[in-house]
Structure 1
Amino acid sequence: MSIRIGNSCVNCENLTENEVCKVHAVKVSDNYTCDSFEMKAALKNDPNCGTCARYESTNCVNPQKAAPGMLCSHWAPQNAQA
């Protein structure tokens, strides 16, 4: 069995604004996946302090230097789900 986080409905072109699959005509969530998956043309990939869950928190590894737009190897996405 394959684990396909990137193939969830939230990343699929077939998902409508009201969370209905255009292919299967059912309401879905970002936990769903299927073989009719079509990746959206672009995903938001903006790893910097402004999009980091650790920004301006006590577990930021660079609190004196952190600023929007700065990159570091400890970046953690704000909306990560598994």
Structure 2
Amino acid sequence: MSIRIGNSCVNCENLMENENCKIHGVKVSTSYTCDSFEMKAALKNDPNCTSCARYEGPTCANPQKAAPGMLCSHWAPQNAQA
């Protein structure tokens, strides 16, 4: 099995709501990926301060450091689609 960045099960259209893979029939997590990976069509791969719902707001974890192009572990997408 190959290791890939960003191809985790959380980004795969085969992930079901109960965190089971509909292809392999096993419980998975964000650490898993496989050769049957299919990227969700609505996912945008642009996580940074300007695409964060908390940017320049009262819930920003790093208001003194936040800037376009940066990312922290508190990033929240402005628009989420299922």
Q: TM-score range by the shorter chain?
A: 0.5 to 0.7
Compared with structure 1, are the counterparts of its residues 61 and 15 closer, same or farther at alpha carbon in structure 2 (3 Å cutoff)?
A: closer
Matched, 1:4 2:9: no
Give the Cα–Cα distance (whole angstroms) in 1 for the partners of residues 25 and 4 of structure 2: 22
Please name the residue that 1:25 is paired with.
Answer: 25
Q: Structure 2 counterpart of 1:14, which letter?
A: N
* Map 1:1-82 → 2, pairs under 5 A: 3-44=3-44, 45=46, 47-49=48-50, 51=52, 56=60, 57=62, 59-60=64-65, 72-73=68-69, 75-77=70-72, 78=75
Give the unaligned 5+ runs of structure 1: 63-71
Is contact 1:52-1:76 (8 Å) kept? no
Count residues with an aligned counterpart. 69
Compared with structure 1, are the counterparts of its residues 61 and 39 closer, same or farther at alpha carbon in structure 2 (3 Å cutoff)?
A: closer
Per-residue deviation, residues 15-55 of structure 1 (Å, max 9, x unmatched)? 00110000000000010010001110021436444618885
- What percentage of aligned pairs have identical amino acids? 55
Normalized against structure 2, the TM-score is what? 0.62
Q: 4+ runs of 1 displaced by more than 3 Å?
A: 44-50, 52-56
Deviation of 1:58 after TM superposition, in Å, equals 5.8
Give the unaligned 5+ runs of structure 2: 77-82
* SS across alignment from 2:6: helix
Give the Cα–Cα distance (whole angstroms) in 1 for the partners of residues 51 and 13 of structure 2: 27
